[in-house]
Structure 1
Amino acid sequence: MATPPETEWPYEVSEFECHRCGNCCRGDGDVALTPDDVVRLAAHAGLAVEAYLARYTWRREDGATCLIDQGDALRSCVYLTPENTCEVHAIKPTQCVGFPMKWRPSDALEICAGLRAAAGLPYPTRRTMNRRTG
């Protein structure tokens, strides 16, 4: 599975605290799952791997297995709750574990409240375009 590339930044982020804005779990981008992610998430859901794949994933043109979204206008991840928490946080996909310290999309500073705080920037009063990590 493809892992998003690292993005170079003009500042170092040594400490990151998630502000639970949920923006990393919405919008454009896909959450590509590793085979281990699929096995772990399927077990958590109490489903056989094939049943989990059929219910919670789709296959991208490059062959990557990706999580479905909720079908809402913001394309929220299937595991994002209304409180902006992750239903599978303790076993979340590898791609999600890496955000934002190992990789981040080019617009992460615009959408992520935690990165904005780490950079000393205020959270925008106007809601920015949400974008999922991937």
Structure 2
Amino acid sequence: MFDLEPSDFFQCKKCGDCCKGYGGTFVSEDESKAIAEFIGEDPERFISGYCRISGGKPLLAQGPDGYCIFWDRLCTIHPVKPRMCREWPFIKSVLADIRNWEIMAQMCPGIKVNMPDDAIKTYLQKALTTGYPHPMKRSI
């Protein structure tokens, strides 16, 4: 039906807007251990030192500027960044309500707008269910 590439929907501008605010980034136990190891921190102290708890789950902390504490003009934990970051903007909430794509595009200059809803849904479904390639290998 649609023969589209990730770049038809999104091209990272390396601006860091996705690393600022907007509810935060949840980290799993495995992700927190990987990040702790990557930065040379004791995994037992990682959550208390680098996260805040929301709804009983750890979120990466934000600095006074509202950015993720691991943002310094680029992602300083890029090789081990959480799934939520790796998948952006190809996330489940867009499948739940296609209007979320347009809302996200208002804060992310890399998200392309005026795409057919069916094309977005088809691509996202494929990306989320099969791990279909999308632009994860970027330097943010």
1:56-106 superposed Cα distances (whole Å, 9 cap, x missing partner): 01111x21111100122xx1110111x2x1111111011111110234673
1:28 aligns with 2:22: yes
2:42 counterpart residue number: 48
1:123 counterpart residue number: none
1:79 aligns with 2:70: yes
1:63 aligns with 2:56: yes
- With normalisation by structure 1, the TM-score equals 0.68
Q: Distance in 1 between matches of 2:108 and 2:61?
A: 21
- In structure 2, what residue type is equivalent to 1:87? T
Q: State the number of aligned residues.
A: 103
Q: Which runs of 5+ in 1 are unaligned?
A: 1-11, 121-134
Give the CA deviation at 1:38. Answer: 0.6
The two structures, once aligned, show a CA RMSD in angstroms of 2.2
1:49-128 equivalences under 5 Å are 49-60=43-54, 62-72=55-65, 75-81=66-72, 83=73, 85-103=74-92, 106=100, 107-115=103-111, 118-119=112-113
Identity of matched residues, % = 25
Runs (4+) off by over 4 Å:
none
Higher helix share: 2
